[in-house]
Each structure stands twice: as structure tokens, then as C-alpha cells.
Chain A
Amino acid sequence: MSATSESHLPLRQPYDAYSNPSLDPQIETIIEPCSGWRLVDWQELSEYRDLFSFLVWRSIKVRYAQSAIGIGWAVIQPLFSMLVFTVVFGRLAGIESDGVPYAVFSFVALVPWTYFSNALTEGTSSLVGNASMLSKVYFPRLILPLSTVLARLVDFCIAMVLLAALMAWFGIVPNRGILMMPLLILLMMLTAAGIAMWLSALAVQYRDINHGMTFGIQLLMYAAPVVYAASLIPETYTLFGTIVIWPQHLYALNPMVGVIEGFRSALLGTRPMPWTFLMIGAASSTLIALSGAFYFRSRERLFADVA
């Protein structure tokens, strides 16, 4: 919570901040300046879960309001990217697609990537875009970027349906790696949430982050195996003739590398499940998310003043 610490006097009933006021135990809220790092207040977040779900629902509804195609836009973005990439990278450039048709090769990567880029873009601008709410109402600010990360999952699911259709068309059947899918999806969401927390807190103060986002995301796409296979990256490389580095492991610091290659492994069977990538990716993703949450919480109380 921004600059407050809450002490609960002895409770006689289960604590629910919005229950009938006449039965409500006395809540004492102390407002004072406090500084330093604070942990994420999970209890507070769960108190505000109604608001969280409403914001998720609002984010979904508003995105497609008054558009004739409506939710179909969730499909158009990855679909058309896939078509363009198939022509440019698949045919003209002749990039290796690990033994499966390039169309489905890139589409499998585009589904999680589209989610990631949209969730990140929207999450970053979530605080700035809701500046009016920030200055008028109190609620845990963490809800805003987290709700966009959750809301974009709807588009992801719709795109997955199209992916299933595409795979059926090409006669490709997923293997038992599909059991890893929920974990991959969680990793994908954690990455988006972690970076979104960092960037949204920074964007409140440094407005040019919003401008740089579109451009940054485009570049970032090439740091993930969306249009090419991860096998393109060499396993070892010798710097200056003496120092040996492992580019693939450095590459895997981008958590989306593990996610995308994991998707390809599970759905297309192009390679075994990339455990190394996933472990490195999970570690870096957790680090980003933890540090992002800390940074966000430390800046939270300034949002209303600076937004």
C-alpha cells in the first residue's frame, strides 16, 4: 500500500474489508511517510480482487468495442505476420525451419510472442493511461499492469484455436511435451508481468519509454527465435582466440527463447524439450519479476505526485 502500514486489532471474525460495516472489526490504518523497500502486500491484493477482475474485464471489452470484426483482431495480428514471414523469411531468405513447413513453424512462435508484445506494451502504458484514476482513488497500483497481463490471455487463447486449426491442416500432431504447456504459459506470463512492472513504473516518470516501446519490441523480436530456429545460434564461441563463451546460454537469458522453443518442441516435435533454455529463462524471469515488484513498490507512493 502506498505509505501505510496496517495493523489489525484482534479479530473475532474472518477478515473481509467490505463486509457489513456493523459487524466489521475495527481496522486501524496508520498513514505516515515511510521509505525503503517493501514487499508485495498479497493480502491487500486479494482484498481488491473484485477491482482486479473488473479491470481485466474492462481491458478485454474496451479493446474490441465498436469494431465489426471484434475479437477477430486477436487472430489477424499473428496470422498476417505469419503470412509475411513465410514469404520473406521462409521463401525469399530460405531460413531453416527444422523440418516443418515454415508457416506453422513461425505461427507457433508468433502466438506466444504476440501475447508477450501486446501484454508488455499495454502493461507499460497502464499506469500512464490511467493517470486520472491514480490521482483520485486508492487501490494497490500493482493491479494495473497485472490486469493487462491477464487480459491479453484471451487473445492468446483465440490465437491458439487458430494454431490448432493450422496444425490440423498440415497434419501435425503434438507430442507428450504438451504437458509442459501450462508451465510454458506461466513462464510467458511471468516474464511479461516482470518487465511490465519495471517499465510501467519507469514510464510514469520517463514518458519516452512509451514511445520507445513499439520500436523496442520490434527489435526484441529478433532476440527470440520467432523467425529463425534457436539452433542458428552457435553453442560455443571463442572470443579473441582465448575466451570461450556459450552464446546459446546467453541467448537463453531471454525467457521467451525457452518459451518459444518449448512451444515448438511440444507442438511440432522439431526438437527435444529445451530444458537448459527453460531453466536459464525461468531464473532470469524470476529475477526480473522480483526486482520489478520491488522497484514498483518503492516508486508506488510517488505515482500520484508524478503521473
Chain B
Amino acid sequence: MGRYVIRRLLQMIPVFIGTTFLIFMMVWALPGDPFAGKCGDRPCPESYVQAMTAKFNLDEPWYVQYGLYMANLLQGDFGETFAGVQVIDELTQAYPVTFKLTVIAILFEIVIGVGAGVLTGLRRGGFLDNLVLISTLFVISIPIFVIGYTLQLLLGVNLGLFPVTGREGTVYALILPAFVLASATLAYVARVMRTNLIENLRSDYVRTATAKGLARRRVVGVHTLRNSLIPVITLIGADFGALLGGAIVTEGIFNINGVGGLIYRSIRLREFALVTGAVTVLVIVFLLVNLIVDLLYAALDPRIRYD
């Protein structure tokens, strides 16, 4: 297992370098004026241009630029707005709420998604099965902001069940936005869990387990569940990227002062230095989460470990 961990970490490095390089290229190094639009609708003030040019060494060849960019990143410097505010400071203030929101969302994904998947995987073709299949299809197709506004209107305004904004940052206030955030992934999880369970129930080792005289409940609960859950973990990890993107929309709709809300407002204000800096952080977080999920996957599936 240790060898596997080291191997994954090593594999991570080129991807990390590559991805940050890609971001760097997209943001700063493509042909054209790198300052276009980074200061709102006006052209950037000369002082900013000079300061940024010096800071990011935009006069230097691109590889030097990239090297220095990476050095900055690793020191936690993600740039600053033209007003001189450090991106990293804004992020430090904003991330706790987003962290809470994300955790609640993932809990929703696991509990409701896996639960629905198991129930429908066991009882195929019933009313519940069709209901879940159709509703998950809907949820996957409806863009998150439509779900967000609709639920906000129905449950928040009309029925008054949940606060309409998450401004307070309390857990209760975050439940509805977290559910909206989790909705698409939740639907995927339910479907994948269902498919996996059905396939695993058809497998040979289930036949063996039944032939061993084990009760159905044990065969399903112990033998198939573990096998079916493993791909779901990977799914949640991979979909985490969509979750981060969705957080921007959700925090915007529900007025939450997290990282997503920060990005949402900055886009509106056309504060693109902040946007790119914050999104870069999110991408890095995504890479790290993927790494953790990969390791978790190996911990659960012995076939991977001993390859």
C-alpha cells in the first residue's frame, strides 16, 4: 500500500505542474493584452500595469514567467486586485463557510444518493424505481441555477421552511443551498449505485454466497454493498469539480459569503484578477481531493493495491 501511495503522489506532480501551467497560459500568457478586462470595464491604471508587469515579469520569456508564477503559487500568493487587495486574504476569510456548505452537500450526496440507489437497485421495476430513475434524469438535466431559484422560491419564500439567504452561515441556513448544490451529483450517485448494485447482484460471487447458505440480507448488505460502493466514491471525487463550480452559482443565488459568493460578485464587478486567482485555488483543491479519493479507492479495493 505504501508503494501505491508514493506512486500516486509522484504521478500527481506532473499533473499538478501541467494543470497550473495550463491555467497560467490561459490567464496570462496567451497572445493579446494580458490586462484586458482585469480591471473591470476600464483599462487598468498605469501603476497597476507597471506593478503587475514587474511582479509577474511579463516582460520576460514565458518560461521565466511560469517559474516565477509557480513560486508565487507555492508561497500562497495568488495575485492581487487592482485595488491592492491580496486574493489570498479574501479567500482566507471566505473559505470556512464554503467548507461547511461543501461538507453538508457531500453528506447529502452520500446519504440520499446511496440510499436511493440501494433501494431502487434491490427493487427493480417498481414504482419507486421508476420514480427515482425519472427524477434523477430531470435533476441531472436541469442546470443548477434553475433548481436553486425554484427551490428558493418554493421552500424559502412560499413555504418559509428555510431561510432565503445563507447570510448567517449557520448550519440550518446552509441546508437548502447544500441540497441544491448536491442535487446533480446526488442524482448521479443514485443511478450509479443502482446500476452497480444490479450488476453485482448478478455476479458469480453472489451465487456463491447464496450457495453458502447466507441469508439474502447478508448477501446484499455485506457482500454486494462494498463492491458497489467503491465506484461511487470515485464518482463523488470526480464530480467534486462540478461541485466547486456549482458552489459559485449556489452561493450567488443564496447570498452566501463564501468563496463561491466571492467569485460570483467578482465576476459581476468584472474584477477578473480576483476571479482567476480564486478559481486557481479551487482547481488546486480539486486536484488534491482527487488524490485523496484515489488513495481512498485503493484502501477499499484490494485489487488496486497489490497491482
Chain A bound to chain B: no
